[in-house]
C-alpha cells in the first residue's frame, strides 16, 4: 500500500522536530521563560526588518492585544472576510467590537475589493486583511482605500511566513501584522503567535504589556509538545495496521493533546483557557527549529503548487485558483473548487490521500455558532458558494514528488471517469 498523504496533522513536522519535542516534554524548566524566546523575537525582527516584535501563546491572543492597543473597542467594527477561521474573528469580539464580514474573490479566496467598499460605515475602524492560503491579497489597493477612509490595516499572515507581494514581504504593509506558529500553518510548532509593528509608540506599548503577561499552565505546554510527538508518530505509523490511527485517537481521548480550537471559542466565542499568555520557551525552541528549514518548506510548496496548476488544467468539474505564482509567493495549501465534493473526498481517502477542508463554512470550523460569530447567512454569497465546493490539496515537505504526482493523477482520474 502506498504511504498515506496528509494535508493537515502538523504536516511540516519531521524527525528532528519530533525528537526535539520529545526531549522538551521532560524539561519543565523550559515551559516558561528562556533564551529561546528572545531568539525567536530576534528572528522575526530581522526577517521583517522591524524593532518591535511581541510573542504570545497564540496568534489570536496577539491579535486581541494589537486591536486593543490600536484603541478598538465597544461600538467599533472591524472588517474581516468570510471564508475564515473563528480564531481571527473572536479577538475582535473580545475587545467589545463587532466583526463585519466582506465577501471574497473566488479566484483568489481573498477580500473582494468591491464588496469592501460597500461594507464600511461610520463605525468601521480597521480592516483585517487575510492572505488566504498564503496567496497575497491586493494589499496595495486595500491600503489606498484604508488611507482615504482613515482606517487601520492589520495583516493576517497566519497562512504565510516569508511570502512577498510586489517585492515586499507580507506583514510589512499595514499598521501591524500577526503570524501563527500553529500546527497546520507555515511552520508546525503546535501553538504560538507573533505580532510585528513598525510604529515606535505602538510597539513600545505592546512590548511593555507583554512583559506583564504570565505563561500558560505547564500542563497546557506539555500537551502542545505532545501533539508534535503524537502527530509525527500518527503519520509515520498510519499504514501500519491500525497503530497510527490508535495513536491519534487515544492521544485525544486520553487528553494527552488538545484541539486547536476549544469548544467555548466555537460555541460562545469566549476566551480559551490558554489565552492572554506569553509564548513559553519550549514552544519558541520548536518554532526556531522549523524556521531554520523555512526556505525548504516554502520552496516545496511553490514547486508542488506549480505542478498542480500545470497538470490539473481543463478537468471537467473542477476550477483552479486564479493564482499567479510570481517569485516568493508560497501557498500553504492548494485550493480546488470541485463538483461532487463529498464523493471526491471519500475517493481520495480510499486511495490514501487525506485532503483538507479549509474552509467548508464561512467561519470555520463547522461547530462554530455563526450567530455568536455575528455572521449572517446570505451576506457573503461568493464565500458561501466556495465553502460548498472547496477542497485543499496537500503542499508539504513530507510529500515526495511521486506523492504530488499521485494526488494529481487521482484527481484527474476521478473527474474524467465521471464525465
- For residue 398, give the CATH number of its domain: 3.90.1150.10
- Final residue of a structural domain among 210, 245, 272: 210
State the Rg of the chain over Cα.
20
Query: Nearest Cα to 58, choosing from 205, 229, 265, 356?
Result: 265
The answer as to whether 270 is a domain residue is no
The answer as to whether 386 is a domain residue is yes
Domains in the chain, number: 2
The answer as to whether 281 is a domain residue is no
The answer as to whether 182 is a domain residue is yes
Alpha-carbon distances of 250 from 273, 319, 340, 378, rounded to whole Å: 22, 38, 32, 39
The answer as to whether 228 is a domain residue is no
The answer as to whether 393 is a domain residue is yes
Dihedral of alpha carbons 187, 166, 178, 85, sign:
negative
Contact 82, 384 (CB under 8 A): yes
Q: How far apart are CA 195 and CA 40, in angstroms?
A: 12
Alpha-carbon distances of 86 from 59, 126, 224, 270, 360, rounded to whole Å: 12, 18, 20, 11, 13
Map grid coordinates 514528488 to a residue.
401
Contact 103, 282 (CB under 8 A): no
Map grid coordinates 503524537 to a residue.
230
Q: How far apart are CA 283 and CA 268, in angstroms?
A: 28
Query: Nearest Cα to 225, choosing from 178, 176, 272, 192?
Result: 192
Contact 293, 240 (CB under 8 A): no
Query: Nearest Cα to 53, choosing from 64, 61, 45?
Result: 45
Cell of 161: 511566513
Map grid coordinates 467555548 to a residue.
264
Kindly compute the dihedral angle of the four CA atoms of residues 224, 226, 228, 231, in this order, to the nearest 10 degrees. -120
| DSSP H or E segment with residue 146 | helix 139-148
Same domain as 194, residue 320: no
What is the number of residues in the chain?
A: 419
Same domain as 134, residue 32: yes
At residue 354, the 3 state secondary structure works out as strand
Q: How far apart are CA 32 and CA 201, in angstroms?
A: 27
Contact 360, 387 (CB under 8 A): yes
Contact 100, 119 (CB under 8 A): yes
Same domain as 206, residue 298: no
Contact 90, 265 (CB under 8 A): yes
Same domain as 186, residue 59: yes
Provide the residue range defining the domain that includes 337.
294-416
Cell of 378: 446570505
Q: Encode the chain (419 residues) as per-residue pLDDT tens digits.
A: 689 999 999 999 999 999 999 999 999 989 999 999 999 999 999 999 999 999 999 999 999 999 999 999 999 999 999 999 999 999 999 999 999 999 999 999 999 999 999 999 999 999 999 999 999 999 999 999 999 999 999 999 999 999 999 999 999 999 999 999 999 999 988 999 999 999 999 999 999 999 999 999 999 999 999 999 999 999 999 999 899 999 999 999 999 999 999 999 999 999 999 999 999 999 999 999 999 999 999 999 999 999 999 999 999 999 999 999 988 999 999 999 999 999 999 999 999 999 999 999 999 999 999 999 999 999 999 999 999 999 999 999 999 999 999 999 999 999 998 87
Query: Nearest Cα to 145, choosing from 172, 167, 132, 127?
Result: 127
- Final residue of a structural domain among 153, 187, 210: 210
At residue 81, the 3 state secondary structure works out as strand
User: Which pLDDT belongs to residue 330?
Assistant: 97
CB atoms within 10 A of CB 378: 6
Same domain as 178, residue 37: yes
DSSP structure class, residue 30: G
Same domain as 41, residue 171: yes
The answer as to whether 327 is a domain residue is yes
Cell of 32: 516558561
Backbone angles phi, psi at 87, to 5 degrees: -65, -20
Same domain as 206, residue 302: no
Same domain as 176, residue 63: yes
Same domain as 174, residue 49: yes
The answer as to whether 101 is a domain residue is yes
Same domain as 328, residue 196: no
Same domain as 307, residue 162: no
Contact 91, 63 (CB under 8 A): yes
Return the CATH number at 41: 3.40.640.10
- Final residue of a structural domain among 162, 188, 210: 210
Supply the pTM of this predicted model.
Answer: 0.97
Same domain as 317, residue 205: no
Amino acid at each position: 500500500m502506498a504511504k498515506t498523504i496528509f494535508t493537515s496533522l502538523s504536516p511540516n513536522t519531521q524527525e528532528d522536530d519530533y525528537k526535539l519535542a520529545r526531549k522538551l516534554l521532560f524539561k519543565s524548566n523550559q515551559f516558561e521563560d528562556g533564551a529561546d524566546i528572545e531568539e525567536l523575537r530576534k528572528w522575526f525582527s530581522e526577517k521583517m526588518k522591524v524593532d518591535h516584535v511581541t510573542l504570545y501563546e497564540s496568534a489570536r491572543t496577539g491579535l486581541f492585544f494589537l486591536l486593543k492597543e490600536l484603541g478598538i473597542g465597544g461600538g467599533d467594527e472591524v472588517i474581516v472576510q468570510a471564508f475564515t477561521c473563528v480564531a481571527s474573528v473572536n479577538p475582535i469580539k473580545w475587545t467589545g467590537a463587532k466583526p463585519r464580514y466582506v465577501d471574497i474573490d473566488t479566484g483568489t479566496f481573498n477580500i473582494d475589493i468591491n464588496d469592501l467598499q460597500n461594507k464600511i460605515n461610520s463605525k468601521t475602524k480597521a480592516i483585517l486583511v487575510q492572505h488566504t492560503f498564503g496567496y497575497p491579497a491586493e494589499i496595495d489597493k486595500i491600503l489606498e482605500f484604508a488611507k482615504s477612509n482613515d482606517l487601520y490595516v492589520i495583516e493576517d499572515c497566519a497562512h504565510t511566513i516569508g511570502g512577498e507581494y510586489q517585492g515586499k514581504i507580507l506583514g510589512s504593509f499595514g499598521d501591524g501584522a500577526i503570524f501563527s506558529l500553529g500546527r497546520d500553518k507555515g511552520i508546525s510548532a503546535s501553538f504560538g503567535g507573533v505580532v510585528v509593528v513598525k510604529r515606535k509608540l505602538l510597539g513600545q506599548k505592546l512590548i511593555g504589556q507583554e512583559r506583564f503577561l504570565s505563561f500558560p499552565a505547564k500542563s497546557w505546554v506539555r500537551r502542545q509538545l505532545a501533539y508534535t510527538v503524537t502527530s509525527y508518530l500518527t503519520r509515520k505509523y498510519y499504514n501500519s495496521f491500525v497503530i497510527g490511527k490508535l495513536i491519534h485517537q487515544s492521544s485525544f481521548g486520553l487528553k494527552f493533546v488538545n484541539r486547536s480550537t476549544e469548544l467555548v471559542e466555537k460555541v460562545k466565542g469566549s476566551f480559551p483557557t490558554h489565552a492572554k499568555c506569553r509564548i513559553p520557551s519550549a514552544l519558541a525552541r520548536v518554532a526556531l527549529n522549523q524556521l531554520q528549514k523555512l526556505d525548504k518548506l516554502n520552496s516545496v510548496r511553490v514547486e508542488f503548487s506549480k505542478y498542480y496548476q500545470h497538470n490539473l488544467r481543463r478537468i471537467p468539474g473542477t476550477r483552479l485558483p486564479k493564482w499567479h505564482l510570481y517569485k516568493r509567493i508560497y501557498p500553504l495549501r492548494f485550493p480546488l473548487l470541485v463538483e461532487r465534493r463529498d464523493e471526491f473526498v471519500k475517493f481520495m481517502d480510499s486511495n490514501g490521500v487525506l485532503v483538507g477542508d479549509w474552509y467548508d463554512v464561512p467561519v470555520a470550523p463547522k461547530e462554530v455558532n455563526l450567530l455568536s460569530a455575528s455572521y449572517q447567512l446570505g451576506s457573503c454569497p461568493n464565500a458561501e458558494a466556495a465553502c460548498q465546493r472547496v477542497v485543499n490539496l496537500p503542499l508539504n515537505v513530507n510529500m515526495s514528488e511521486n506523492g504530488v504526482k499521485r494526488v494529481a493523477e487521482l484527481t484527474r482520474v476521478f473527474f474524467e471517469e465521471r464525465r
